[in-house]
């Protein structure tokens, strides 16, 4: 069975990508599982300067997933290039740099530095726009278009735009990204959520709210991938609550060319291997020759 997929000329040996933010830059995770098993790795979110992130507690477990408000803790782009990237290059997997900026200029500067060194960029537009009131860039189709266009101008590798689900119509963001020249879109990012300790009457997250990930959000993610597949022609990388191969197949049928797995890595480091084997067995059992045969192949 052929598990290879191609996104804007970048060939992935299989469609399973490690999702940004779920295993750092792979050092600790590589002690548990061979990173060569992944078709690609989307790095922890990178900013221009080092960030310590939000105060603790910033992660809590809830029914069907976890809420996090880590706040983009990372060593900054210089440390990424000098220390983390050489480590990731040891492995036979595509490297996707997840970049985060608090202004258009920061996104452009990051793209200029990082894009010549990696296989793809993933532009995370969930950061607040500090110059215009703090609303996340990714909620405004005009800002999605503007930043995507500027990053595309400077980037020397293909650009993925990561979309937030915390909007009324995610397809408007998808269309804006495509119009601006994005090579692919990835969705969904986490769903805005909150949990309260009833004994202390305090939020379980210091910042009060955070992003929900895990199996609870999968039906939302499937719906949004399906809707975007109807509206844009660029490839979609689907994510959100994938725990096993059956979940992955759902994403392919909804329209995803590839998938990202994140929260599952916390509970099952072998998930990538199990999902890959499950996809292979599904293809054989149902007479499909490749993953590409599944993409958008839903019967309505």
Please identify every residue annotated as catalytic: 127
Host H or E run for residue 224: helix 218-231
List, in order, residues 6 or more apart from 234 with CB less than 8 Å away: 177, 178, 182, 183, 184, 185
Per DSSP, the residues of 264-285 read HHHH-TTHHHHHHHHHHHHHHH
Annotated binding residue 72 = yes
Annotated binding residue 281 = no
Distance CA 11, CA 8 (A): 8
CA 285 to each of CA 193, 271, 280, 288, 289: distance values in angstroms, whole numbers, following the listed order: 39, 21, 9, 8, 10
Give the phi and the psi of residue 99 in degrees, each rounded to 5: -110, 145
Annotated binding residue 138 = no
Annotated binding residue 30 = no
E-only strand ranges, 69-145 = 94-99, 120-124
Annotated binding residue 255 = no
Annotated binding residue 54 = no
CA 236 to each of CA 15, 19, 254, 259: distance values in angstroms, whole numbers, following the listed order: 11, 14, 10, 8
Annotated binding residue 241 = yes
Annotated binding residue 291 = no
Yes or no: say if 40 and 119 are a contact pair by the CB < 8 Å rule: yes
Annotated binding residue 44 = yes
Annotated binding residue 162 = yes
Residue in the block written with tokens 């290879």: 4
Annotated binding residue 278 = no
Q: Among 280, 281, 279, 261, which residue's Cα sits nearest to residue 271?
A: 261
Annotated binding residue 103 = no
Distance CA 11, CA 74 (A): 28
Annotated binding residue 94 = no
Annotated binding residue 133 = no
Reduced to 3 states (helix: H, G, I; strand: E, B; else coil), residue 74 is: strand
Yes or no: say if 93 and 103 are a contact pair by the CB < 8 Å rule: no
Annotated binding residue 188 = yes
Binding site as annotated, residues for substrate: 44, 68-72, 124, 189-190
Binding site as annotated, residues for FMN: 20, 44-45, 98, 124, 162, 188, 214, 240-241, 262-263
Binding site as annotated, residues: 20, 44-45, 68-72, 98, 124, 162, 188-190, 214, 240-241, 262-263
């Amino acid at each position: 069975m052929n598990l290879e997929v191609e996104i804007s000329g970048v060939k992935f040996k299989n469609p399973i990508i490690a999702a940004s933010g779920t295993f750092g830059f792979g050092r600790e995770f590589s002690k548990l599982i061979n990173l060569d098993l992944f078709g690609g790795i989307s790095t922890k979110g990178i900013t221009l300067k080092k960030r310590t992130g939000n105060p603790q507690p910033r992660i809590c477990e809830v029914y069907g997933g976890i809420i996090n408000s880590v706040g983009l803790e990372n060593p900054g782009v210089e440390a990424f290039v000098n220390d983390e990237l050489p480590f990731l290059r040891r492995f036979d997997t595509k490297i996707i740099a997840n970049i985060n900026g608090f202004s258009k200029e920061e996104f452009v500067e990051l793209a200029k530095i990082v894009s010549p060194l990696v296989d793809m960029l993933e532009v995370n537009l969930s950061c607040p726009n500090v110059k215009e009131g703090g609303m996340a860039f990714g909620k405004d189709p005009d800002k999605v278009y503007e930043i995507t266009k500027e990053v595309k101008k400077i980037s020397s590798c293909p650009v993925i735009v990561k979309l937030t689900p915390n909007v009324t119509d995610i397809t408007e963001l998808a269309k804006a990204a495509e119009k601006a020249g994005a090579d692919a879109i990835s969705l969904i990012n986490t769903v805005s959520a909150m949990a309260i300790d009833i004994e202390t009457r305090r939020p379980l997250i210091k910042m009060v709210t955070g992003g929900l990930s895990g199996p609870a959000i999968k039906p939302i993610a499937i719906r949004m991938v399906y809707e975007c597949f109807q509206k844009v022609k660029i490839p979609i990388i689907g994510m959100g609550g994938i725990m096993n191969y059956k979940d992955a197949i759902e994403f392919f049928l909804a329209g995803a060319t590839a998938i990202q797995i994140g929260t599952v890595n916390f509970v099952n480091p072998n998930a990538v291997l199990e999902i890959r084997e499950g996809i292979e067995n599904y293809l054989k059992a149902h007479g499909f020759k490749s993953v590409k045969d599944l993409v958008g192949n839903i019967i309505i």
